Each structure stands twice: as C-alpha cells, then as structure tokens.
Amino acid sequence: MSGATDTGDTDAPADLVTGIVVPIHVEYEYTAGEAASRFLSHIPERRLVGQRHGDHGLVYVPPRGSDPANGEPTDQDVELTDQGTVTTFCIVNVPFAGQAVECPYVCAQILLDGADITFQALIQEAEVSQIHPGMRVEAVWVDDPEPTLESIRYFRPSGEPDATPESYKDHM
Amino acid sequence: MTEHSLTASHVVEYDYTRSLGPVLSHFVTGLRDRVVRGTRTKSGRVIVPPLEFDPDTYEDLGADALVDVGEAGVVTSWAWVHEPRPSHPLDQPFAWVLVQLDGADTPLLHALDAGGEDAVSTGMRVQVRWAQDRVGGIRDIACFEPEGAS
C-alpha cells in the first residue's frame, strides 16, 4: 500500500508506504469425533441423521456427541428428512475475499423436520426478497455426496405451504 | 456406533491488512529504499525497529526522532532451524538471529543464511542481504548473511 498518506508528517515522501498486507495461513488436521463421524457417514446416502440422549431427548443436528442441556451422551440416532423450515435468515450484501456465492444471497437457519435445533445453510433458487420465516425448503445435493456437509449444495423452496409459527417458535 | 473418527484437512487463510502509522511507515519505506531506520529516544538510545513512543518517558517521538542505522551489525543471540517450514524466509536450514545493527542499541530479529550451524556464533558480524524486489515490508530484507559474503 502506498500513495496518499496521513502520517501527520508534512515532510513525508509522496510514495511513503503506509500499510502492509500480512497473509495468514494455518493448516489444521480436523478430527470430527465419534458423533460427527457417525452423522457424516450417512451423508453419502443422502441421509441426515440427528442424535439424542435416550428416547425423549432433544434431537441435535449436526450432533456434537452430548446433549448440551444435561451433558448426557447422544446415544440414539434419529433419522431426519432433508426438508425443513426457515426460522430466521440473513441477506448477505457485502462481498468479501474468498466469497463463493454472488451477492445478494441468503444464509438461513433451517429447522429440519424432526430436529430440535436449527443449522445454518445457504438458500438458492429463490429471490432474496421472497425468503421469510416459516418458508419450507429442501436440500439440493451434489451428484456424488461425500461425508462432508458440502455435499448439500444449498436449500431451495420446496413449494409447500408455510409452516405455522407455532411449529418452530420453540426452536429459534 | 462407528469405531473411528473421520478426519479432514482444514485451511484457514486470509490477508491481514495493517496500517503502519506515522513511524513504522518510514521504517518500511526505508527498507524499500535499502535503508534501516530506528528511533532515538530522549535518553539517546537508538531503538530498531523504531517506536512511536519513548519507552522510558512515554513521550510521543513521532517521525522526527527517526535516524538511519547501519546495514551490518553483531549477532547477540541465535537459534538454529534444522527444518524450515513453508512460511520461513529461507528454504534451507538457517538461524533466527538477533542482530544489533551498527548505530543501534537494541537488536532486530531476522533470519541468517549462514550455510551451517557451525558457522554461527554470538558476536559474529553480519550484514543485510536485500531482496531483489522490495515493496515496503520486513521481507525487503531477504535475510542476513556473514559480513563480506557478497
């Protein structure tokens, strides 16, 4: 960075360097852990499988291995669908480095049918102005899903009637 | 339950853009122009890289206190790197050194291309090896090298 300066120094050369760009690069080897590995292992079958503790626990997706309400292990798998309800969302209008999707686009919290918590996903194939809480959406998968959440390309409106606020008000 | 855990590589990467302020701007601009600059404090010590404020009196020193120092100096401490990492300034084994440049009272941290660990010692004389393409940044000093090496 050079050129215009604001150093408060009237003798500063016109080509004073006033800033630097420092590239940060960190490589991790990420270990998913048992619960997330179990969840991810079903993704290639296009199945979203949440987890709960016991028969009556809350259903978490993606599961982290324990029920955060009581610390108990999520020892039961719960088959979900790849359809759900938008509970809240954000319209992204500000471009940033490395952005993969064209602005404006929507990131939404989606309550999958059968789950008790939402997870964040991209919404496409819809005008951002049309997206609203209660909107029903469905997953669009990549052709050959691998055990990663990137196997879901995005969610899109499913065309079903909106969910009632009562159906998701306790899962915001 | 599965018996094993999935793993994946995960890279975090971004550019951090930093404003340099009224003093370090002159430091990196100096490096671009093959000059190393420090700050002379009120007590007369010369600190390299330069500081905006006097570390003894906390006075605002600003750009007026900048002084040029030499591009050669003395190694005051060092550590040998047997296996350089990708982000290191040199591909071959090298030494991290603290170099007290001629005219400075404090040492500067940089890399020394010494050829081998046996060639490095505290008290040895070293000099700047300037980078070919200098843009204003600490890497305008490619590394240090034993004095008289080039």
Taking only the tens place, the pLDDT of each residue in A126-138 is: 999 999 999 999 9
Q: State percent of chain A over pLDDT 90.
A: 84
Question: Does position B90 have pLDDT exceeding 90, yes or no?
Answer: yes
B79 domain-assigned = yes
Which residue among A2, A21, A27 places its CB closest to the CB of B17? A21
Please count the structural domains in chain B: 1
Tell me how far apart the terminal alpha carbons of chain A are, to the nearest angstrom: 44
Q: In this predicted model, what pLDDT tens digit does every residue of A33-70 receive, in sequence order?
A: 999 999 999 999 999 999 999 999 999 999 999 999 99
Closest residue in chain A to residue B29, using alpha carbons only: A17
How much is the pLDDT for B3? 57
Closest residue in chain A to residue B136, using alpha carbons only: A17
The ipTM assigned to this model is: 0.84
B60 domain-assigned = yes
Which residue among B7, B15, B22 places its CB closest to the CB of A31? B7
Q: State percent of chain B over pLDDT 90.
A: 91
CB A154 within 8 A of CB A102: no
B14 domain-assigned = no
What one-character DSSP code corresponds to residue B11?
Answer: E
Residues 6+ away with beta carbon under 8 Å from A118: A87, A88, A109, A110, A111, A171, A172
Q: State percent of chain B over pLDDT 70.
A: 98
Question: Does position A7 have pLDDT exceeding 50, yes or no?
Answer: no
Q: In this predicted model, what pLDDT tens digit does every residue of B1-47 receive, in sequence order?
A: 445 789 999 999 888 999 999 999 999 999 999 999 999 999 999 99
Q: In this predicted model, what pLDDT tens digit does every residue of B117-137 receive, in sequence order?
A: 999 999 999 999 999 999 999
How much is the pLDDT for A14? 81
Chain centre to alpha carbon of residue B84: 17
Question: Does position A2 have pLDDT exceeding 50, yes or no?
Answer: no
Q: Which two tokens stand for residue B83?
A: 């296996």
Per the structure, the complete domain to which residue B135 belongs is given by 21-146
Contact with chain B for residue A4, Cβ under 8 A: no
Q: Cβ–Cβ of B20/A19 closer than 8 Å?
A: yes
- Residue pairs spanning A and B at CB distance below 8 A: 112
B6 domain-assigned = no
Q: Name every chain B residue with its beta carbon within 8 A of the beta carbon of A23.
A: 13-16
Which residue among B5, B13, B22 places its CB closest to the CB of A24? B13
Q: Name every chain A residue with its beta carbon within 8 A of the beta carbon of B29.
A: 13, 15-17
Report how far residue A95's alpha carbon sits from residue A98's, in angstroms, rounded to the nearest whole number. 9
SS (H, E, C) chain A: CCCCCCCCCCCCCCCCCCEEEEEEEEEEEEECHHHHHHHHHCHHHCCCEEEECCCCCCCECCCCCECCCCCCECCEEEECCCEEEEEEEEEECCCCCCCCCCCCEEEEEEEECCCCCCEEEEECCCCHHHCCCCCEEEEEECCCCCCCHHHEEEEEECCCCCCCHHHHHHHC
